[in-house]
């Protein structure tokens, strides 16, 4: 198999499962289920995908249905090198960097230049972490089998495979809710959350039939600026900052979870603190993939206010999504709001 010029593999049509199969998804909940009959697995921060193999033909499909094969040639080669000749697997593409999973490294792969993709596949190879087996014999799908049996099929498929050497890994699990709670609360464990799957559940393609609890964390941030609402001069969002080791305040995200009843008084309070520069490091409106048409429309503040916010993901020293305001922290000195909180 070559890494260049791959075409859609024709032999995969013989598997008996459509390449356009929509993965089963998870519904977001706030707590793990307490009744019996559940398996708990880490929720990985990567690209969800399905992997198909029939003989020498291999394909990787994203949750959207688009092919990821050309962007992860090393994973395609790894899947084609293992002993089993036919399978359909559900899993997650992840790239470990310096002991943690890097979502940025994954996104860098989605690039039109094949030379860059090949270089990155050697410098930061991706691992396919597998958590479900949908087929391991041609024309014998396991979609209607209970998850407990599909897990046995997955472990049987992986029997004899050196996971580290193969560049593939089977996800760990527990059926002990207390252990799953530890995964959520242990800051030293690099997981994005926990997925809960019923042991008797068939594979319900495209449905949110599993449960997921995200690992939410909090951080104290300096309010380095704010934006007005689009159509009126009232605060719409707070711009958040953290200090680096050199003492520079970098823009790391925003929170717009502000109560309407509090906005008039908060706007007056913020306007009294308006003064440049607001951020002394990376500032809103700088060139980045987060920039929008309104990025430059913000008011800088003196570094006086601190808020505690709840967040889920950090990517490239930024909160990947909007955060939720937990509380104001008048007891906290702005200088104490550093990146070290995110480690």
| Closest C-alpha among 86, 113, 108, 100 to residue 17 | 86
Among residues 7, 27, 43, 263, which one is catalytic?
43
Write down the residue that tokens 């289920």 correspond to.
Answer: 33
Tokens representing 178 are 């207390």
129 beta partners: 92, 169
> Following DSSP, what letter does each residue of 84-143 receive, concatenated?
--EEEEEEEEE-EETTEE-HHHHHTT--S-HHHHHHHHHHS--EEEEEEEEESSTT-B-T
Is 43 a known active-site residue?
A: yes
Token representation of residue 234: 């009232």
List Cβ neighbours of 340 (8 Å cut-off, separation of 6 or more): none
Q: How far is CA 153 from the centre of its chain?
A: 27
Instruction: State how far the Cα of 128 lies from the Cα of 166, in Å rounded to an integer.
Output: 10
Question: What are the two backbone dihedrals, phi and then psi, of residue 314, each rounded to the nearest 5 degrees?
Answer: -125, 125
Collapsing DSSP to helix, strand or coil, 217 comes out as strand
Q: Taking a C-beta distance cutoff of 8 angstroms, is the pair 105, 124 a contact? A: yes
Judge whether 141 and 17 are in contact, CB under 8 Å.
yes
Partnered with residue 168 across adjacent β-strands are: 128
What's the token pair of residue 127? Answer: 């691992």
Per the CB < 8 A criterion, the answer to whether 167 and 124 are in contact is: no
How does DSSP assign 271-313, residue by residue? HTTB-S-S-SSS-TTSSSTT--TTTT--EEB-TT-EEEEEES-
Give me the sheet containing 25-28, strands edge to edge: 25-28, 208-214, 193-198, 38-43
What positions carry a catalytic annotation? 43
């Amino acid at each position: 198999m070559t890494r260049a010029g791959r075409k859609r593999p024709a032999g995969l049509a013989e598997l008996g499962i459509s390449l356009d199969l929509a993965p089963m998804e998870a519904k977001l909940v706030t707590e793990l289920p307490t009744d019996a009959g559940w398996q708990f697995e880490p929720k990985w921060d990567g690209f969800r995908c399905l992997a198909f193999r029939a003989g020498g033909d291999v394909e990787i499909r994203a949750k959207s249905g688009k092919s990821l094969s050309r962007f992860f040639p090393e994973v395609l080669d790894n899947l084609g090198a293992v002993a089993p000749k036919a399978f359909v697997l559900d899993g997650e593409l992840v790239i470990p960097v310096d002991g943690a999973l890097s979502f940025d490294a994954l996104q860098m792969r989605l690039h039109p230049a094949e030379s860059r993709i090949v270089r990155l596949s050697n410098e930061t190879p991706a691992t396919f972490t597998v958590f479900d087996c949908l087929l391991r014999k041609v024309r014998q799908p396991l979609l209607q089998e209970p998850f407990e049996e599909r897990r046995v099929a997955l472990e049987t498929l992986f029997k004899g495979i050196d996971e580290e050497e193969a560049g593939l890994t089977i996800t760990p699990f527990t059926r002990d809710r207390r252990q799953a709670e530890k995964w959520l609360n242990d800051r030293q464990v690099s997981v994005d959350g926990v997925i809960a799957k019923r042991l008797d559940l068939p594979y319900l393609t495209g449905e949110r039939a599993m449960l997921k609890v995200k690992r939410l964390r909090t951080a104290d941030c300096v309010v380095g600026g704010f934006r007005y609402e689009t159509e009126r001069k009232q605060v719409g969002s707070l711009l958040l900052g953290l200090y680096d080791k050199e003492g520079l305040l970098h823009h790391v995200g925003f929170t717009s979870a502000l109560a309407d009843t509090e906005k008039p008084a908060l706007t007056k309070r913020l306007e009294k603190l308006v003064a440049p520069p607001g951020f002394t490091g990376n500032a809103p409106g700088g060139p980045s993939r987060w920039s929008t048409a309104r990025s430059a429309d913000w008011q800088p503040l003196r570094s006086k206010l601190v808020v505690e916010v709840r967040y889920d993901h950090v990517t490239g020293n930024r909160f990947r999504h909007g955060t939720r305001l937990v509380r104001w922290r008048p007891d906290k000195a702005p200088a104490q709001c550093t990146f070290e909180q995110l480690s």
